[in-house]
Amino acid sequence: MIENPAAQAECPKMQANSSQKSDIKTILFSAFSFQLLAAVPDVPGVGTDNESDLCQTPSRSLKIVIAGGGTGGHLFPGIAIAQEFEARNAASRIIFISTGNPLERSVLSKTGYRLQTITAAGIKGLGLWNQIRSGLKIPKGILEANRILKKFSPDLTIGLGSYSAGPVVFAAWLRRIPIVVHEQNILPGITNRILSRFANRIYISFKNTRSHMDPQKVNWTGNPVRQDILDSAARIIDPKTDESGTKPFTVLIIGGSQGAHRINMAVIEALDHLRDLEQLHFVHQTGQADEQPVREAYRRSKVDGTVQAFFNNMAGQYSRADLIICRSGATTVAEITALGKAAIFIPFPFAADNHQVLNAGSLSDVGAAEILTEKNLSGKILSEKIAYYAAHPAELENMSAKALQFGKLDAARNIVDDCYRLLAA
């Protein structure tokens, strides 16, 4: 594994013999499962033992494809990488390719990045018939991605790991376009485990990530965080104060980009158990389905709360928070550690390969966060934890300081630096 992002630069060789070409035809038209692509041999990594060989020229403009999305956990790191490429050279052109779900369209429309859509569907965790139906979409998705890549002619394709990245990365491999993939979670998902065979670089977010990926390709960069959130770490936002001029204890509740019903219901129950409500302020991201019932619960309990389905200005919400209650998706963990915030993680129990428990465990094991499993979650327990941390600011400060040690604020820069070295080789 490469822990120094400045440690590689040799031109990759993407050669395919006649038997591989035969395999491609088989893969394209036997669409029972995208896992069939795992039979393709690894693309060689790129390495050098001499840092003096690294490119020293100014960053040139590039055409970049960022593939994948689906949830904020995949999409937001891609946006952070895109922002870093634009910071290097404003003339760079970047497009996102995914299925075009409502979250992707909403978020990307506010960033100005263009979204191109393809056909794709997930496979893991589905019944056999649904797996077959999803598999049948693979050839169409590859053909759609190939048309987009042919027209755009990118210098580089970046895979973010969701199922929609699969057809795009495979099409890029067929067109001999350099490929890098980024894994957000501590345990690589099935898509990235497959796509790593096609990639020239594999960027990981956690130092202790374990996988069967080629260690010569693996580069520990961290998980990129959007620039507005990083900027919020460098400025002080005036806290909301009450009539006496004191700042209430602010609890930020986020269930991910789509909300978390189980957490929302536990918070509603917790409101009935809390005391000294005038000293508390809640900022609650509910997701679309639960916005109205949660808002009504705060009104009925006469608790000061800011409730929205989704916050676009997460930088401000993070900065004001004293305590965060949230899922432990990789992007949420990256943002919390970049800012050094105290958190109670409630991992989603049905996350693939239990990766949310593993993500949170990397922090809780050293006192940088607390884990509350959904099995043990109740309104009474949650209210007790909120009351405890509100009364023990030293505990919060200690947790925050430890969380900050996990933050990698330079993750996007690490990735973009290495991408330029890859393309310059």
Residue 40 pLDDT: 53
**69: alpha, beta or left? (left if phi > 0; alpha if psi -120 to 50):** left
Query: Do 248 and 311 fall within a single domain?
Result: yes
Query: Do 40 and 159 fall within a single domain?
Result: yes
Residue 102 has pLDDT above 80, yes or no: yes
Number of neighbouring beta carbons within 10 Å of residue 203: 28
Residue 121 pLDDT: 81
Residue 8 in domain: no
Query: Do 91 and 213 fall within a single domain?
Result: yes
Number of neighbouring beta carbons within 10 Å of residue 331: 25
- Segment 89-105 shows an average pLDDT of 95
Residue 125 pLDDT: 63
Number of neighbouring beta carbons within 10 Å of residue 116: 19
**The tokens 């590689």 sit on which residue?**
8
CA distance 11 to 161: 24
Residue 251 in domain: yes
Residue 366 pLDDT: 95
Residue 36 has pLDDT above 50, yes or no: no
CA geometry: angle 85, 87, 89, nearest 5 deg: 70
CATH number of the structural domain spanning residue 234: 3.40.50.2000
Q: What is the distance in angstroms between the CA of the first residue and the CA of the last residue of the chain? A: 20
Residue 419 has pLDDT above 60, yes or no: yes
Query: Do 250 and 364 fall within a single domain?
Result: yes
Residue 190 in domain: yes
Query: Do 291 and 168 fall within a single domain?
Result: no
* Domain extent for 292: 230-404
Residue 271 in domain: yes
pLDDT tens figures, 195-223: 999 999 999 999 888 667 888 999 999 99
- Segment 303-332 shows an average pLDDT of 93
Residue 205 in domain: yes
Q: Work out how many domains the chain is built from and give that number.
A: 2
Query: Do 37 and 83 fall within a single domain?
Result: yes
Residue 2 in domain: no
pLDDT tens figures, 76-91: 999 999 999 999 999 9
Tokens found for residue 137: 């979409």
pLDDT tens figures, 229-246: 988 766 545 555 545 457
Query: Do 209 and 279 fall within a single domain?
Result: no
Contact between 33 and 123 under an 8 Å Cβ cutoff? The reply is yes
Query: Across the strands, what pairs with 251?
Result: 282, 323
Query: Do 66 and 154 fall within a single domain?
Result: yes
pLDDT tens figures, 60-74: 999 999 999 888 889
Tokens found for residue 119: 């056909």
pLDDT tens figures, 376-389: 999 999 999 999 99
Residue 98 in domain: yes
**Reported confidence tier of residue 349, pLDDT bands at 50, 70, 90:** very high
Query: Do 393 and 414 fall within a single domain?
Result: no
Residue 22 has pLDDT above 50, yes or no: no
pLDDT tens figures, 394-415: 999 999 999 999 999 999 999 9
Query: Do 204 and 237 fall within a single domain?
Result: no
Query: Do 110 and 257 fall within a single domain?
Result: no
Residue 175 has pLDDT above 90, yes or no: yes
Residue 176 in domain: yes
Residue 122 pLDDT: 75
Query: Do 374 and 414 fall within a single domain?
Result: no
Grouping H, G, I as helix, E, B as strand and the rest as coil, residue 180 is strand
